[in-house]
Amino acid sequence: MLAEIVAVIDDELVGHVGVSHCWLDARQELVDVAMLSPLSALPSKQSHGIGTALVTAAIEAARELGRPALFLEGSPEFYGRRGFTGASTFGFEAPSRRTPEAAFQVVPFDSRADWMTGRVVYPRRVVAARLCGAARSRLGVAPRSCSRGTSRLNDTSNACSIDWVGAHLCLATRMAT
């Protein structure tokens, strides 16, 4: 994981997002890029802006890490309103044939050069965990129920408070060194 960000409200862990490493198999060379996964908000706290705040923070984290692009597979309805756009329009190819085109999205950063196109390649552990492609019948639509199982963070250094959801939401980021 390149970065993990948790959302905390009143000392309660209410959300988590991860920014992971992946590659872009460009013709010129293999490029280190990033993918947003996983993302979760505590069901009882959903629809209060936590997911949006975490996506925004993940985009900033990927940008700060110097990765030229941040990819994901997810709902275009959700991510399309939060800075992501269809990745195939930039010449990127999805990592799996099971990835619905609409679900394959990207935020390209200024550091991306025009030659940086090609197929996204996931690390083996991501593929082994079946985190690529659509494993469900409703392609590209993420389930709305999710436990907080992925929301864990040991090191909350670099914690920063942001003005969001009544200024009570704290985002704590751990960046890889």
SS (H, E, C) 27-75: CCCEEEEEEEEEEEECHHHCCCCHHHHHHHHHHHHHHHCCCCEEEEECC
Residue 161: CB minimum distance to ligand COA, A: 17
What is the spatial distance between Cα 122 and Cα 35, in angstroms, rounded to a whole number?
9
What is the spatial distance between Cα 21 and Cα 121, in angstroms, rounded to a whole number?
10
Query: Which position among 12, 29, 77, 155 is part of the footprint of ligand COA (CB under 6 A)?
Result: 77
> Could you say whether residue 6 binds ligand COA (CB under 6 A)?
no
Query: In the 8-state DSSP scheme, what is residue 9?
Result: E
> Could you say whether residue 139 binds ligand COA (CB under 6 A)?
no
> Could you say whether residue 146 binds ligand COA (CB under 6 A)?
yes
- Which range, of 58-66, 110-118, 142-150, 166-174, touches ligand COA by CB under 6 A? 142-150
What separation in angstroms does the CA of 71 have from each of 42, 100, 140, 162, 170?
Answer: 23, 14, 14, 24, 25
Residue 136: CB minimum distance to ligand COA, A: 11
* Closer to ligand COA by Cβ: residue 49 or 100: 49
- 40 beta partners: 16
Tell me the two tokens of residue 78.
Answer: 């959700």
Contact flags string 37-76 toward ligand COA, x per CB under 6 A: --xxx----xxxxxxx---------------------xx-
Site residues (CB under 6 A) for ligand COA?
Answer: 39-41, 46-52, 74-75, 77-78, 141-144, 146
